[in-house]
Structure 1
Amino acid sequence: MEYVSTIKDVQKIQLMKEVIKKKSTRDYLLFVMGINTGLRIGQLLQLKVEDVVDNQGNFRLFMEIDNQSVYLNEQIRRAFKHHFQTEIGLQHSYLFQSSRGENPITRQQAYRIINEAAKKVGIKEKAGTHTLRKTFGYHAYVKGIAVSFIQQRFHQAAPSETLKYIGVEKTERHKIDVNL
């Protein structure tokens, strides 16, 4: 596996969203879900419409995946709305369905989507599917989420492993902003 970097610059994330959104609502949803859930690309690609939409057609607030409850925040729900305005998904179809059949897009296609968008917005470091997961972890950490929670989500053995994975240097210091 090739090393890919974390996107630490929020402006670059916004630019990537814009670039991807112009190309495809499906790809935009993939990117938004990836950076807002921290799920592995394999987990994301196996999602079906029924995992995120209930029987009444409402978007779920939480979904269960691999015995974890995953919050679907407002960013994700907006991406759902945008995607489902243009795409009519059947309950049992894949959320990230290929345009060439009933299967989900491949991991390679997901890599190309992320890598191409990163290049277009001027990200020089390598970007790939793990970039989404790493970006989620980094920004969760910067916003004050305990590294132990991120470590648990990523199923990693030690906090130091998680910090290294998300790109936090030992010398970095973060201001934690808590609003009660």
Structure 2
Amino acid sequence: MEYVAPIKDIRKIRLMKQVIKKKSSRDFLLFVMGINTGLRIGELLELKVRDVMEPDGNFRLYLDSPKEKKQIIYLNDQVRRALQHHFQLQVPSLNRFLFQSSRGDHCITRQQAYRIINDAAKQVGITERVGTHTLRKTFGYHAYIRGIAISLIQRRFNQATPSDTLKYIGIDKTEPQKIDVNL
């Protein structure tokens, strides 16, 4: 597996959102959920509509993490707005995949997710290598920069040590870290 970088520049993230949103609400939702939840691409692609929406049509505030991790994933305002945008025309069956393929009753592939992310990154001028792990790394990087303890990010990512997590999210321990307290 080749190393891919997080998207550190907030302006590039906003530009990617614009580019992807113009193309597809499903792809926009994938990008927004990826950078706001820190879930692995496989976990995202396995999600069904019922995982994010109640039977009455309201969006959930929390997503139970897949697998054995038993973490609760907060669906923030950005994710809920992306969900609302995606489902503005019609609400599909709760049993459909959230990231349903247009070519059948299955989810999009990891390769398709890679193309979505990579194409948008190229369009906005990102020169670093990006891929599906970029979404997860972007989540971790910005959580850390905003003051979330590395131990919490480490636990979310199920990694062995804080130094593994710092390396994974593209933080160089030798460079000075900006502390931004805005009370």
TM-score interval, smaller chain: over 0.9
| Matched residue, 1:147 | 150
Alignment CA distance shift 1:87-1:131 (3 Å): farther
Cα distance in 2 for partners of 1:4, 1:151 equals: 18
Q: Any gaps of 5 or more consecutive residues in structure 1?
A: none
Match 1:108 to one of 108, 111, 115: 111
| Matched residue, 1:36 | 36
Give the alignment's TM-score, normalised by structure 2: 0.95
Which deviations, in whole Å up to 9, do the C-alpha atoms of 1:99-155 show, x marking residues without a partner? 001100000000000000000000001110000000000000000000000000000
Alignment CA distance shift 1:56-1:175 (3 Å): same
User: Runs of 4 or more off by more than 6 Å in structure 1?
Assistant: none
Aligned partner of residue 85 in structure 1, secondary structure? coil
Amino acid at match of 1:166: I
Cα distance in 2 for partners of 1:167, 1:146 equals: 15
- 2:74 equivalent to 1:71: yes
| Matched residue, 1:48 | 48
Give the alignment's TM-score, normalised by structure 1: 0.97
- How far apart are 1:174 and its partner, in Å? 2.6
Deviates more, 1:58-67 or 1:14-23: 58-67
Cα distance in 2 for partners of 1:54, 1:137 equals: 28
Deviates more, 1:166-175 or 1:16-25: 166-175
CA contact (8 A) 1:89 1:95 kept: no
Amino acid at match of 1:137: G
Cα distance in 1 for partners of 2:182, 2:123 equals: 36
Alignment CA distance shift 1:87-1:174 (3 Å): farther
Aligned partner of residue 28 in structure 1, secondary structure? helix
Q: Any gaps of 5 or more consecutive residues in structure 2?
A: none
Alignment CA distance shift 1:126-1:87 (3 Å): farther
